[in-house]
Chains A and B, each alone.
Chain A
Amino acid sequence: MTLEIIGISVLWLFLFLYVIVASIDFGAGFFNAYSAFTNKQHILTGIIQRYLSPVWEVTNVFFVFFFVGIIGFFPLTAFYYGTTLLIPASIALVLLAVRGSYYAFATYGAKINHRGYIYMYGLSGLLLPASLSPVLAMSEGGFIKMEGSQPYLDYWALFTSPLMWSIVVLSLTAVLYISAVFLTWYANKAGDAKATDLMRKYALVWAGPAIVTATGIIYELRDHNPEHFSRILDLWWAFAISFLLFAGTVYLIWKRKNYGLAFILLVGQFFTAFFAYGVSHYPYLLYPYLTIYDSFTNEAMAIALIIAFIAGLGLLLPSLYLLFRLFLFDKDYVKGKSDYHA
């Protein structure tokens, strides 16, 4: 294994973790707003506050980890993506601010539970994946172009691209699906039958669109980036496994059985698909300008970063374990029997 591969694998893994935890967070906000809209708010709000409020900052750090890490391992990405992402990334930052301030101002603070705020918070959960996911489309090439030696983003090409839109739609359906499956499990653990039923229904509703849009992207790639498309076909077996895991989740949810296992299968489904996609993208960070080899940092820095990563992980894993034990697996806490907020 080369240093380049270690570097990109670490980053891809953390991006995957961010996709999962952030989807739960984004989707929960949306379901919360939706149930406020249909006047069923009491069903979800408690669960969202108990689970999300203590962990949203941790979720955010996964995002920070990714963009700090990619500049560290692949500094040249700053030049291509930094210059071109100014607008989409700034919009994403504002949306992240809406979410962060909701937790700060509405759930910890003075409990400003104005409806407008709840809707904004919910909507930001959909707009965020929509503003972040086009980066994946951009990495396929054809949207970032060069003007002399300077890269720029061709907005017209991007906004008229079916590939970009299908990635956006996939990100939305995936967020809602992941979130619904997780919350079904969490609500069930909390012994809240009403919330479980509601979330189960959402999970089943969003399962179909999620799998259809995922397939749609592969189809769009055929025209947009044939090279990538043929590499995906080489990995057909990984996508097949992913599909089987998907079927397993849906079956369990349908039969109201073992929601915990259903969620684990879902993580497996996204994990295989995400990594198969990543492997097929190799070695490009940006078609056709940037590969992980020509953008890689120097050897001394790479080794230092990997050592720091291992040391950091030694610190991180036990702490995360403690966090989950207290907030995810603690029966009394999950059931809302005890309120220990400062």
Chain B
Amino acid sequence: MGFEDTVLLSRILTMMTLSFHILYATIGVGIPLMILIAQWVGIKKNDDHYILLARRWARGFVITVAVGVVTGTAIGLQLSLLWPNFMQLAGNVIALPLFMEVFAFFFEAIFLGIYLYTWDRFEDQRKHLLLLIPVALGAAASSVFITIVNAFMNAPQGFDILNGELVNVSPLLAMFNPAMPTKVAHVMATAFMASAFVLASIAALRLVQGSNHIYHKKALLLTMKLGFVFSIATALIGDFSGKYLAEYQPEKLAAAEWHFETEGEARLILFGVLDGEEPKYAIEIPYALSILAHGVPGAEVTGLNEFPEDERPPLWIHYLFDTMVTIGMWLAFFSFVFLFGTWGNWAIITKKWFRWLTVAGGPLALIAIEAGWWFTEVGRQPWILRGYLRTSEAATTSGQVDLMIILFAGLYFILGVGTIVVLSRMYKRNPVEKELADRQKGGKGGDPE
């Protein structure tokens, strides 16, 4: 097998693992905050519904975390297995955040174990709530550190190369690279946003299925509020991400926007198809690209013409960018309508089709997460370490990557199906109405057995 093939195969396997892991990771980062908020509201309002909400979310959360841990271990090891040349270079410069991430994992895993197995063990609910804070912090910290590594791949700094030798390495400079602030902020905001909409989907689904319990309505309202707040934050930070790109990775922005010539007063192109260098059937928003890139309508935006052919990212990332932004805008708008409607007692809020739209929010947010990562990653091509190391030079020379693709595809399929089956079985066997009734009878609820 040729070297070219192992590069392609390694890319496919990495893409598969990351795309699968990121779903669980995003939920892993976002859900602890949601549980924290629900439990806190429950304690403050002395409302058992919110406490139960937190508890039921926590039960499902354990399962997604476990799969997140498994797939995360896979990607962590695969980075060295599939990209040994990259890891050898990266290990010298950016190993610090990777290493710190491990401590964040420890912290999260330890307190999660404690939190899950100490429900009702303390007289004072607030003590139990305190245990969740390290879980949320640990999850957030691990996403910060790993995102820093990814930021470094996009905007490497903190070292010099002298005659093929790495010199003047500064681990802190490498960590605090220009891509880091926007990336970390965007990843965190989107994780919270996506988690809120996923939980809203579940509540809405129960309402669509005919339950009219106030428990689900409370859950839906709380999660939609959170979803709205974080979707606004996401859009704002996304705008900053665009400005970062214009400054430091203009080729990525230009490829995403089909912006071929450097020019001012640049228009933003949404969707459409390319005919040579001319977009067709596209929605064009005048000045919008200049505003996204620099904040002023007249600003000049660097075009693809400034880059040699072999350093241009693939043009199809345009659709990834559009997908992400459209979903972001839609969810911000939709949750706004929902909140406004709830507040004004509008009739449409309780209509079935509207509830179905709410159900769609969770999957849409997850699609936006995937689109965002694919956009960042594919948009960095042909580089693995922008400006220093090409993806084609970084891959393993091992000839068995194809077999491993089959192996892991099977594994992820089983884990994915397993998650869905187990989660739905778990909640079906122990519906909230039953659990509420049990709790009223004085039993503390707890294990469904």
Contacts and interface: CB of A to CB of B under 8 A. Distances in A.
Interface in A305-333: 305, 308-309, 311-312, 315-316, 319-320, 322-323, 326-327, 333
Interface in B118-133: 118-121
B134 interface: yes
Contacts of A338: 121
Interface stretch (B164-172, B198-206, B321-329): B164-172
A249 to B, nearest CB: 28
Given A54-B113, A298-B92, A319-B111, A96 B99 contact: no
Interface stretch (A87-95, A187-195, A208-216, A236-244): A87-95
A305 B99 contact: yes
A101 interface: yes
B407 interface: yes
A209 B242 CA distance: 63
B272 to A, nearest CB: 41
A301 B103 contact: no
A327 B113 CA distance: 10
A316 B103 contact: yes
Contacts of B87: 71, 75, 78, 82
Nearest to A296: B92
Given A57-B69, A319-B111, A327-B113, A76 B100 contact: no
Interface string A153-165: 0000000000000
B118 A326 contact: yes
Interface stretch (A35-43, A108-116, A250-258): A108-116
Contact of A61 (B70, B106, B418): B106
A261 interface: no
Interface string A246-287: 000000000000000000000000000000000000000000
A57 B28 CA distance: 14
Contacts, number: 237
A132 to B, nearest CB: 11
B8 interface: no
A320 B134 CA distance: 13
Contacts of A81: 80
Interface stretch (B179-187, B219-227, B352-360, B397-405): B397-405
B92 A301 contact: yes
B287 interface: no
Contacts of A72: 91, 95-96, 98-99
A339 B446 contact: yes
Nearest to B428: A110
A86 B398 contact: yes
Nearest to A332: B121
Given A82-B80, A300-B169, A96 B118 contact: no
A188 to B, nearest CB: 22
A120 to B, nearest CB: 11
B169 A298 contact: yes
A63 B107 CA distance: 15
Nearest to A151: B397
A58 B109 contact: yes
A83 B415 CA distance: 27
B425 interface: yes
Contacts of A327: 113, 117
Given A72-B96, A90-B408, A305-B95, A300 B400 contact: no
A293 interface: no
Nearest to A314: B103
A109 B426 contact: yes
A340 B93 contact: no
Given A68-B76, A72-B99, A90-B407, A55 B113 contact: yes
B316 interface: no
**Which size class do B's interface residues fall under?**
35 or more
A85 interface: yes
B65 A57 contact: yes
Residue of B73, B115, B419 with highest tally of chain A CB at under 10 A: B73
Given A75-B88, A90-B408, A308-B100, A97 B95 contact: no
B63 A104 contact: yes
Interface in B40-89: 55, 58-59, 62-63, 65-67, 69-74, 76-78, 80-85, 87-89
A342 interface: yes
A319 B110 contact: yes
B103 A323 contact: no
B116 interface: yes
Contacts of B447: 339, 341
Contacts of A333: 117
Interface string B242-285: 00000000000000000000000000000000000000000000
Contacts of B89: 75
Contact of B102 (A69, A96, A300, A319): A69
Contact of A342 (B116, B400, B403): B116
A100 B118 contact: no
A331 B71 CA distance: 35
A67 interface: yes
Given A78-B91, A96-B70, A54 B102 contact: no
A219 interface: no
A322 B112 CA distance: 12
Given A97-B411, A108-B63, A110-B429, A54 B81 contact: no
Contacts of A152: 397-398
Contacts of B419: 104
Contacts of B407: 90, 94
A199 B113 CA distance: 26
B231 interface: no
A320 B103 CA distance: 12
Nearest to B159: A298
Nearest to B3: A150
A324 to B, nearest CB: 10
Residue of A76, A79, A101, A104 with highest tally of chain B CB at under 10 A: A104
A103 B77 contact: no
13 contacts: A55-B113, A68-B99, A75-B87, A82-B84, A90-B408, A93-B73, A96-B73, A105-B422, A312-B106, A322-B110, A339-B446, A340-B446, A341-B447
Given A327-B117, A342-B59, 16 more contacts: A57-B65, A60-B109, A65-B102, A82-B87, A83-B397, A97-B70, A97-B74, A101-B67, A108-B62, A108-B66, A109-B422, A297-B91, A301-B93, A338-B121, A340-B117, A340-B118
Q: Which 10 A-B pairs have CB atoms at the shortest separation, nearest pair first? A: A75-B91, A104-B66, A82-B84, A72-B95, A312-B103, A54-B113, A57-B109, A110-B425, A78-B87, A100-B70
